[in-house]
Structure 1
Amino acid sequence: MGIKLVSQPFIENAVKTSGLEDFGGDTFKQGLEVLINSLNNDLDLAEGTAGYFQQMITQILVNRLQVTQLIKDHPEIKGEEIKAPIIIVGLPRTGTTITQTLMALDPLSRFLRNFESAGAVCPPPPLLPHMPDPRIQSSYDAMEGLFSMAPELRGINGINFMALGTAECQNLMAHEFIHAGWSAGSSLFSHGNWLGDCDMTKAYEWHKRLLQVFQWKLPNEYWVLKAPIHLFGLESLLKTYPDARIIFTHRDPFEAMVSGVSLVSRWTQLTTGQVNIPAIANWYPALWVKGLERALEVRKKLREEQVFDVFHTDLSQYPIVSMKKIYEHFDIPFSRTVQKRMQVWLWDNPRSKFGSHLCNASELGIDPDLEKERFGFYLNRL
């Protein structure tokens, strides 16, 4: 019999830790209950896994309390305009990260960094801080600690896990306990299924609220953001950011699912020690089919100039050409400086730098014919 968690002590502890009481609404409680129920019922919850989620949940609740108070103290934050953000969406393992990473090299862009979006988010540093942000080292140490326990994960995640690297903006939606990384990283199937069907309106309100906080003291011309979870919430995202510019990444879904199931299996082994590969191979593709179907329906309504398609094969073989096409489509200047920065980064960070990610469909129990049938609606559009 594993450890069992309940939600109220987390709320009480966050209030005690922060000395604050206003969470900016209680809409987070539904997602918190779903997450805790998933931890209690989908896993035989051991001390290590429970400790990780206890720390993470408490930090998120403290973030909400502190951000709510910060905005009360500085109401001008609400006036920050999030103008025409670039938001990269697509199935996991289709090139969302490398697209964001290259675009984030543009001095005019603003992006979320892992250290500022995963831990304490408030308050933001001044424009010219007098010392390095102390969160950088703690973030670096945490990520290196993970890789020391499971070195093969560096080859899977690579640039996803650098303290100063680009972060998925679902870290902001996590303040409503909407985050696909938890279900994928620990095989929390029921939480993942809830994500596939829940109303994400409030999550995007927090997404915007936190972008305003970050932009308040560290502004730039436009945001470059990414998260595959937006496939499920694209309609709500566009209501929040009507002028958003969408980059849609594409890859053979069979290849994406093989890579994704391998990722989920290896992370689950690390975080829980209770990996069930056949169950993952059945659950994971079915979940992302739902998200992709939903996003493609929304995509039909977008103006041509509002969306651009990028293909994984092009990104892999011709990354600079792919970037130029994105910039041209959205009428963003592609300067020699930007191009050189991208080229230098690619020279300094070859894919092999992060290790290899070897995965075999048959060993994972993934049937190519089944995936072809599942994703037939998508393959017919490519």
Structure 2
Amino acid sequence: MSTAIRIHDLAHPELTDIQRAAIAYGEQQQIDFSEEAVLAAARERTGLADFGPEDFRERLQLLLDEWGHDPDMTGSQRANLFGYLVRYASNRLLIQDQWQRHPEILEQEIRQPIIVAGLPRSGTTHLLNLLAADTRFRSLPLWESYEPVPLPGEPPLPDGGDPRYLRCEQAWEGMQQVTPLLAAMHPMHPDHIHEELELMGPDFASYNFEWLAPSPRWRDHYYQHDQTPHYQYMRDVLKLLQWRQGPDRWVLKCPQHLEQLPVLQAVFPDATCVITHRDPVAVIQSAVTMVAYGYRMGRKRIDTRAVVEYWSDRVEHLLRACVQDRQRFPPEQSIDILFHEFMADDMATVAKIYETAGVELTVTARAQMQAFIDAHPRGKEGKMVYDLKGDFGVDPAALRERFSFYFEQFPVRAEQG
């Protein structure tokens, strides 16, 4: 039996001693939250200076302006976000250096990837990790997504391990100290197979920044600009990773793809697109609970109503785009997966995906996936209990009416609780 987890203090967090100490420490930090400080730190960290095309600076500056002038952001969160931006700028330098020194990288082909698109909290993570258990595929573990290229001259650890892995492991351990319930909602250990969206970070692109802190200006900028160049950038980073280490058929996933299906199809024309479908209300209550819980370390005050309104709008935008553009991927290259069917029999779902993608589901692949299932039983870290009405003041049935256009298009099962 999984332990039930119910968070009662989302709006008014009851902080632990560790959480209070971390927030207090963050308030003592003096952060130069400027473009030059970010880029200088990246140059110092890598010893490199060529960032490639300069258009990224506008996007970096937008993030710095929006986050830097947020009066409700804690010092701890501002320091954390500065670290994110320095890591992305460092990765940009390292990636650009590899492309310059090894032009053959860009001659690589990304052939027939299997790409999962679906709402956050709709089974995409479990599905991706299940597919990635098949070692015939190339996938993106979290530690590699955070640092795609090693730092110049950095030696292996004494035990032969990769220092990038250790840094990711230490970050996960620190996250568990200050937000211990996150593991039950979204595990982030180093071997966890992650979203390729992270590879747009060095181009300072994607909707990922919206998950890190309230970013409505960033969202509007994202809406107003063609995302094709950023998908191409991500594809070329995949080429770099593939060049460094195969195999060369990828399994990928990201919820953002739902609202970028034409771009996804243009950049990966021979991809098999797997779209997961779940009751949007179940998705929203899970997502906003996770976001609001994380905000206890990042926000001086938490407006739970604003959180649910923002993410209800984002989910609607994702789904309206999906309904509009779903047919961009032809039937022979795409498949729709219903959440309740996937949860009832995940291996049967995998078999359908393999049939669509033209991949043999071998005995070895089945065994590898079963080993993953056995090692990651549902509810291993506990089972979250949600209360959309009690915590966010939103009636689930009324919210569900907002998504009637989606239920009319796909046979999604409404969920209770």
What's the TM-score once normalised by structure 2's chain length?
0.85
| Alignment pair present for 1:148 and 2:167 | no
SS at match of 2:247: coil
Instruction: After superposition, give the CA deviation of every residue in 1:237-264 in whole Å (9 maximum; x if it has no partner).
Output: 2211111110001101111111111111
Match of 1:269 among 282, 288, 296: 296
How far apart are 1:369 and its partner, in Å? 4.0
Q: Aligned match of 1:374 in 402, 407, 410?
A: 402
Tell me which amino acid in the other structure corresponds to 1:281: V
- Paired positions, count: 377
Aligned counterpart in structure 2 of residue 12 of structure 1, from 37, 40, 46: 40
2:149 is matched with which residue? 121
1:247-262 paired onto structure 2 within 5 Å: 247-262=274-289
Match of 1:131 among 146, 160, 174: 160
Runs of 5+ unmatched residues, structure 2: 1-26, 411-417
Do the aligned partners of 2:389 and 2:395 also contact (CA within 8 Å) in 1?
Answer: yes
Alpha-carbon deviation of 1:5? 2.6
Worse-superposed segment, 140-149 or 292-301? 292-301
Aligned to 2:229: 202
Q: Which entry has the higher C-alpha Rg, 1 or 2?
A: 2
Change (3 A) 1:289 1:80: same
Number of the residue aligned with 2:100: 72
Provide closer, same or farther for how the CA distance between residues 274 and 80 of structure 1 changes in structure 2, counting only shifts above 3 A: farther
Asked whether the equivalents of residues 280 and 315 of structure 2 are also in contact (C-alpha less than 8 Å), the reply is: no
> 1:344 corresponds to which letter in structure 2?
A
Contact kept? 2:46, 2:151, Cα under 8 Å:
no
Distance 1:42-1:196 versus aligned 2 partners, 3 A rule:
farther
| Whole-Å separation in 1 of the counterparts to 2:71 and 2:348 | 45
C-alpha displacement of 1:10: 1.6
CA deviations on 1:151-201 (whole Å, 9 max, x unpaired) are 11111113xx12011011110111222243432233333323433443212
The answer (yes or no) to whether the contact 1:105–1:341 under 8 Å persists in 2 is yes
Using the alignment, how far apart are the partners of 1:177 and 1:217 within structure 2? 23
Superposed CA RMSD in Å reads 2.3
Cα distance, 1:42 vs structure 2 = 3.9
What displacement does 1:331 show?
Answer: 1.4
Distance 1:196 1:251 in 2: 24
Task: Give the aligned partner of residue 109 of structure 1.
Answer: 137
2:112 corresponds, among 84, 95, 99, to 84
Q: Return the letter of the residue paired with 2:225.
A: C
Match of 1:351 among 364, 375, 378: 378
Match of 2:52 in 1: 24
Secondary structure of the 2:380 match is: helix
Change beyond 3 A, Cα 1:379–1:222? same
CA–CA distance in structure 2, aligned partners of residues 313 and 225 of structure 1: 22
| Cα shift at 1:44 | 2.8
What are the residue-to-residue correspondences of 1:31-70 with 2, within 5 Å?
Answer: 31-70=59-98
Task: Give every structure 1 segment of 4 or more consecutive aligned residues whose post-TM-superposition deviation is greater than 4 Å.
Answer: 1-4
Whether the 8 Å CA contact 2:74–2:297 is kept in 1: the answer is no
Which residue number in structure 2 is paired with residue 178 of structure 1? 205
Matches within 5 A, 1:325-340: 325-340=352-367
Measured after TM superposition, the shift of residue 47 of structure 1 is 2.2
What is the distance in 1 between the residues matched to 2:167 and 2:45?
A: 19
Given the superposition, is the C-alpha separation of residues 68 and 221 from structure 1 closer, same or farther in structure 2, using an over 3 Å criterion?
Answer: closer
Q: Which moved more, 1:278-287 or 1:335-344?
A: 335-344
Q: Does the 8 Å CA contact 1:196/1:290 hold for their aligned counterparts?
A: no
**Identity value in percent:** 27
Bigger mean CA deviation after superposition, 268-277 or 49-58: 268-277
Kept in 2: contact 1:3–1:46 (CA 8 A):
no
Cα distance in 2 for partners of 1:52, 1:30 equals: 21
For 1:381 and 1:267, how far apart are their aligned partners in 2?
Answer: 33
Give the residue type in structure 1 aligned to 2:84.
M
TM-score by length of 1: 0.92
Deviation at 1:150, TM superposition (A): 1.7
Deviation string 1:306-342 (CA, Å, 9 cap, x unpaired) is 1111111122111111111111121111011111221
Q: AA paired with 2:330? A: R
Match of 2:124 among 88, 96, 104: 96
For 1:222, what is the secondary structure of its paired residue? coil
Is residue 2:287 matched to residue 1:234? Answer: no
Deviation at 1:370, TM superposition (A): 4.0
| Matching residue within 233, 240, 257 for 1:213 | 240
Q: CA deviation at 1:12?
A: 3.2
- 1: distance between equivalents of 2:258 and 2:217? 18
Amino acid of the residue matched to residue 171 of structure 1?
E
The amino acid that maps onto 1:74 is H
Q: Is the 8 A contact 2:196 2:252 kept in 1?
A: yes
Give 1:274 shift: 3.2
Give 1:203 deviation, angstroms.
1.3
Provide the C-alpha distance between the structure 2 equivalents of 1:103 and 1:315, rounded to a whole number of angstroms.
13
Q: Give the match for residue 280 of structure 1.
A: 307
> Alpha-carbon deviation of 1:4?
7.5
Q: Tell me, which stretches of 5 or more residues in structure 1 are unaligned?
A: none
User: Which residue pairs with 2:328 in the alignment?
Assistant: 301
Q: Write the distance in 2 (CA, Å) between the matches of 1:354 and 1:179.
A: 29
Q: Look up the SS of the partner of 1:151 in the other structure.
A: coil
